[in-house]
Amino acid sequence: MIRQQTDAVVVGAGIVGLAHAYALAKRGHRVTVIERHPFASSASVRNFGMVWPIGQPLGPMRNLALQSRDLWLEVCQDAGMWFEACGSLHVAYHEDELQVLNEFAASAGEDVGVVLSPEAALQRAPQLRQEGLLGGLWSPHELCVDPRTAVAEIASYLTTKFDVDFRFGDSALVVDQGEVVTDSARISARAIVVCPGAGVSGVYGPLLVKNGMVQVRLQMLRATPQEASYRIGTHLCAGLTSLHYQSFRDCPTLPHLRARLEADHAPLLENGVHVLVSQHADGSVTIGDSHHYGPHHMPYSSEAVDDMILGYLDTFLPTDKLAITQRWEGVYGKHPTEPYLVLKPEPNVFVVGAIGGAGMTLSFGVGEKTVVEQILPALEKI
Ligand SMILES: Cc1cc2nc3c(=O)[nH]c(=O)nc-3n(C[C@H](O)[C@H](O)[C@H](O)COP(=O)(O)OP(=O)(O)OC[C@H]3O[C@@H](n4cnc5c(N)ncnc54)[C@H](O)[C@@H]3O)c2cc1C
C-alpha cells in the first residue's frame, strides 16, 4: 500500500470537491483528490449546467451565488472552458404568473431582474410560443456551462495549473486521525474535506443522513433541434418554477398562483415537475425535471413523468422543433431547511454535502467560504 503525505485530501471529484480543491490549491496548498470512479459521473455531470443566482433568496445566499458565479467565470476563462453568459427568462402565460414576477421584480430591484414585455421577451428568446405570452422576468446574471465536460476539464486544469494530484478509480474507505485510507493508499493530511454527494452509504454518507440529508431523484431529457440554427437565447422556465425556488417565497400572489397550479396541474405537482431549459455549444437542449424525495433504490424512469415534463414544456417552447435524443436520471442530496451542510466529525475533517438542486450554482462560493472561514484557520493552528 502506497503511503503519502499532503496538506489537504479532498474526497469526491464532483463540482463541490473540485471547488474546495481549487480554493485550497490556488492558495498554495498541496491537494490530493480521491474519486472512486474513473471519472466523476454523478449529479455534477447530469445537470442543466445552469449557474442560477436568480433561484437563491435575496441576501446572503444570493450574494454567495453571485460570488460563486464570479469564481466560475474566473475558472472558465483561465481554463479556456466553454461557457455562455446567457442570463435567464421566467416566462408568464397567465396573469397570476406575471403578477408574481412583477412583485418579485418590484421588491428585488432592477439589478436583480426586470419584467419584459412579450415583444422584448421574444427578442431574448425567439423560439418561445408567441400565443398567450404576457411577458417574462429577465435576469442577466445566469451562466451556462456544459456539465458533460466541465468537471473533467476543471480536474485537468487543477492538475496542470496547480499540480493537484487526482486519484481516479480509488475509493476512500476510512477517514481516521488525520489519515485517509483508500483502496490502494494511506494518505495523511493536515485537512480532510469529504464531498461525497448524495450517497447514503460510504464515508460520511450516513452522517449526512443523520443530519437530515434526503435523496432527491430527477428525470432529465436532451433534445437535438431539427434546425442547426435553432437557439433558445437564454435559460428558460415558466410559471411552475415560481413555486420551486425560494426567491419567490415572499411574493403576495404566490399562494394564489400555487392554488391555481395545483388545480390545473395536479399530476405535475405530485411528481415535483417544473420545467427548465438550457442549451449548450453543440446546440443540444437540456430539459427537465421532476423531483421524487426519499431513498433512491430503483433505477427505473417513468415515461409518464417524461411526458408531463414535455407536455408542460410545450406550453411555452414548442416541442415540434425538438427531437429527444437522451434521457437520464440524477440524484442530489438535500436538507429540508439548510442550503447545505458543513459537518466536522473529527478535528480538521470537514464534510460538505446536501447542497441540493443548486450545487452547480453555489459550489465555488461554498468552497471559497468553507476554505477561508473554516479550513484555513484550522490549518493555521497545526
Ligand atoms: C438532474 C440534476 C439537475 C441539476 N441541475 C442543476 C443546475 O442546472 N444548476 C445547479 O446549480 N445545480 C443543479 N443540480 C444540482 C447539482 O448538480 C448538485 O448539487 C451537484 O452536482 C452536487 O455536487 P457534489 O460534488 O456534491 O456531488 P457529486 O456530483 O455526486 O459528486 C460526488 C463525488 O464523490 C465521489 N465519492 C463519494 N464517496 C466517495 C468515496 N468514499 N471515495 C471516493 N469518491 C467518492 C462520487 O463518486 C462522486 O463522483 C442538478 C442536479 C441534478 C441531479
Give tens-digit pLDDT for 236-288: 999 999 999 988 999 999 999 999 999 999 999 999 999 999 999 999 999 99
Q: Whose CA is nearest to atom 45 of ligand 1?
A: 12
Same domain, 205 and 219: no
- Shared domain for 286 and 251, answered yes or no, is yes
Specify the pLDDT at position 144.
Answer: 98
Domain-embedded: residue 290: yes
Do 199 and 101 lie in one domain? The reply is no
Q: Indicate if ligand 1 lies below 6 Å from the C-beta of 198.
A: yes
Q: What is the pLDDT of residues 162-181, one digit of tens each?
A: 999 999 999 999 999 999 99
Does residue 222 form part of some domain?
Answer: yes
Mutate which of 9, 32, 47 for ligand 1? The one with the most ligand atoms within 8 Å of its CB, which is 47
- Do 263 and 320 lie in one domain? The reply is yes
Say yes or no: 221 and 189 in one domain. Answer: no
294 and 244, same structural domain? yes
Domain boundary (315, 331, 347) is at: 331
List the domain range (segments joined by +) for residue 179.
2-46+148-211+338-380
Q: 204 in ligand 1 pocket by Cβ < 6 Å? A: no
Best probe residue, ligand 1, of 44, 193, 329 (max atoms within 8 Å of C-beta): 44
Q: Is 88 in the pocket of ligand 1 (CB under 6 A)?
A: no
Q: Are residues 281 and 158 in the same domain?
A: no
Q: What is the CATH number of the domain that holds 361?
A: 3.50.50.60
Instruction: Give the model's pLDDT for residue 328.
Output: 97
* Tens-digit pLDDT string for the chain (382 aa): 899 999 999 999 999 999 999 999 999 999 999 999 999 999 999 999 999 999 999 999 999 999 999 999 999 999 999 999 999 999 999 999 999 999 999 999 999 999 999 999 999 999 999 999 999 999 999 999 999 999 999 999 999 999 999 999 999 999 999 999 999 999 999 999 999 999 999 999 999 999 999 999 999 999 999 999 999 999 999 999 999 998 899 999 999 999 999 999 999 999 999 999 999 999 999 999 999 999 877 889 999 999 999 999 999 999 999 999 999 999 999 999 999 999 999 999 999 999 999 999 999 999 999 999 999 998 887 7
From the CB of 44, is ligand 1 less than 6 Å away? yes
* Torsion sign across C-alpha atoms 34, 361, 121, 246: positive
Q: What is the Cβ-side half-sphere exposure of residue 234, based on CA atoms within 13 angstroms? A: 24
Answer yes or no: is the C-beta of 144 below 6 A from any ligand 1 atom. no
> In terms of DSSP bridges, do strands 179-182 and 185-194 run parallel, antiparallel, or are they unpaired?
antiparallel
114 and 26 together in one domain: no
Within a domain: 78: no
- Of 293, 316, 331, the residue that ends a domain is 331
Query: Is 74 a domain residue?
Result: no
SS3 197: coil
Average pLDDT, the chain: 97
In a domain, 180, yes or no: yes
- Residue 221: exposure state from Cβ atoms within 10 A (0-12, 13-18, ≥19): buried
Number of structural domains found in the chain:
2
CA of 359 to the centre of ligand 1 (A): 7
